[in-house]
Every structure is written in C-alpha cells, then in structure tokens.
Amino acid sequence: MEAVGVTGERLAPLLAREHVAWLDEVRVELGPAQAGTAGAWTRWHAIRYLEGAFVSRVSRERELVNAVARDLSDADQVQLWALGELLEVLPAYLAHLVGLCHRAGDFGEVTARITSALGRWCRTSERAVGPVSLESVPAAIQSSFGWTTTEAVGAA
C-alpha cells in the first residue's frame, strides 16, 4: 500500500499495540521469577532480560518521546523524562544488588517497582504522545518500531 491514507494517522493505536505486547513480554519474562518458589537461575534469567532487552526497549521509547517533544506539554515532557530515568536506572541498579537472584523478597520488591514504573510510562506516553501524528516521527524511529505505512493504515 502507498502512503495515501496515512496522513493524519495518530500514534495512539500504534503505541497501544506496542505497549500491550511489551507488558505481556515483561509478564512472561518476570512472572515466573517473581513466584515465591522460583529458583536463583529463574531470577537470574529475569535480571538478564531487564539489563538487556528491556533497557533497549526503554531507549527506543525514549527516542520516540524525544523526537516528538515539541508536540508535548512541558508537564508531559517532565513526567516522561522522570519515568524514563527510572526505567533506565532501576535495571542498571540490579548489578549493584549482589546476590539478588538468591533473595526472592528483594527481587520481588525491585521488579515490582520496575513494572509499576513501566505501567505508568505506558499510560502517560499513550496519553501524551498518542495524539501526535505519525508524520511527526522520523522515519528511522518509525522503522525501529517496525511501523510501516501498511501497518499504520491497518491500525487506524
């Protein structure tokens, strides 16, 4: 399909779809590790996910927000910046919690904070960034999300 029909497409449906998938992915990766019966290796796997794929996803989302910042209110920019910082810093902090994979309670507390911050990020970015036009997003960032013209038209 051509770009015809994409004009005026908003980010809301695209972000909502991204966030549902991301939240599901986090539940799959962290859920088993948060169970009281989980072993150290299960928690270790979850920590590796948080330090790798999760952080990459946060960076990509923050790039999107930075790219459309001119279309956001000052309050939304500040809130998304703070939430983005939390989502970057908390996983980085995991490396300093020696033996975290052996301490179920501490692991559960830290990952609950991360998932809470992620939920807030998703809700806030969908509200603030959702109304922004897809055309406002640089092509490289659209591509990093896998948003093609055909997908955008189909998501409308």
The pLDDT of residue 71? 95
Asked if residue 55 has pLDDT above 70, the reply is yes
| pLDDT, average across residues 119-144 | 95
Helix 104-129, helix 40-49: angle, nearest 10: 30
| For range 47-73, the mean pLDDT | 96
Whether the per-residue pLDDT at 149 is higher than 70: the answer is no
Q: Residue 112 corresponds to which tokens in the numbers above?
A: 């609950």
Neighbours of 38 (CB within 10 A): 19
Distance (Å, whole) CA 147 – CA 153: 10
Main-chain phi, psi angles of 53, to 5 degrees: -60, -40
Q: Does residue 70 have a pLDDT over 50?
A: yes
User: pTM of this prediction?
Assistant: 0.85
Give the start-end residues of each E strand in the chain.
none
3-state helix, strand, coil in the chain (%, to 5): 80, 0, 20
Q: Is the pLDDT of residue 103 over 80?
A: no
> Are 117 and 83 contacting, i.e. CB atoms less than 8 angstroms apart?
yes
Q: What distance in Å separates the CA atoms of residue 78 and residue 83, rounded to the nearest whole number? A: 9
**pLDDT for the residue 81:** 98
DSSP tag of 138: -
pLDDT at 153: 45
